[in-house]
Amino acid sequence: MNAHEIDYQIFGEEMQYVELELDPQEAVIAEAGNFMMMDDGIKMDTIFGDGAKEDEGFLGKILGAGKRLLTGESLFMTIFSNEIQGKKRISFASPYPGKIIPIDLTRYGNKFICQKDAFLCAAKGVGVGIEFSKKLGRGFFGGEGFIMQKLEGDGMAFVHAGGTMARKELSPGEKLKIDTGCIIGFTQDINYDIEFVGGIKNTFFGGEGLFFATLTGPGTVYVQSLPFSRLANRIWQAAPQGGGKDKGEGSILGGLGDVIGGDRRF
């Protein structure tokens, strides 16, 4: 194996975290902000890109890291290494309610394609790059699903799904239509495209967007019920307006309750 071979255990239900066990000289990579806790003796370093190709030279590392800017990620990643004797443990947490999905890349032809914000952490040696769309339709209308990340190598990687996760096994020619934000990831044999919903009423009054993704088998697809963009949008819509005052949702009294409670003045 080129990637480090690591053991892991996932804890929790709605707000999960994954604990990785590192033997001496083993390491993991992660995006900034996913770290939870670690044993004493693990060294943390900031590196360009993912560190998968240590012999590619400085220019190659710069180019690889620069591509990450297209997905909205930082130029840098964090690597955590066990540099002393004995097994050490390190944990990474979910960014919001959902599930952590372990991806054994050797089971998927050493490549898995996922949403740009789904990646959590991986064994050192796993390459974290970008998967460009080859069709213009995806570029103009794909939204969240246009520029995807690709995880390559022969190690373990971990991605995060918002809400409840569904795994779909598509047979050759079988098609699945999905909201672009609800895609977690899929195997490399899946054909991915964007399709127009159609219909005047759907376009102007449907409220679900004009386009959805079509995934055609054979292959495996992971779907999430709560994309972060949807969660953020609902929080924004429910946020108090006008100086932080409560809008009174969920109350029979509504605005009258504000007056009685002393929050609204004439």
Q: What is the pLDDT along the chain (266 residues), one digit of tens a residue?
A: 577 888 999 999 888 999 999 999 999 999 878 899 999 999 999 887 666 665 555 565 566 555 556 555 666 789 999 998 899 999 999 888 899 999 999 999 999 999 878 899 999 989 888 886 655 444 444 444 457 889 999 999 999 999 899 999 999 999 999 988 889 999 999 998 887 766 545 445 444 456 788 999 999 999 999 887 777 777 777 777 644 445 444 444 444 444 444 444 44
- Domain-by-domain residue ranges, the chain? 7-238
Backbone angles phi, psi at 44, to 5 degrees: -110, 130
Asked if the 7-238 domain carries CATH number 3.60.160.10, the reply is yes
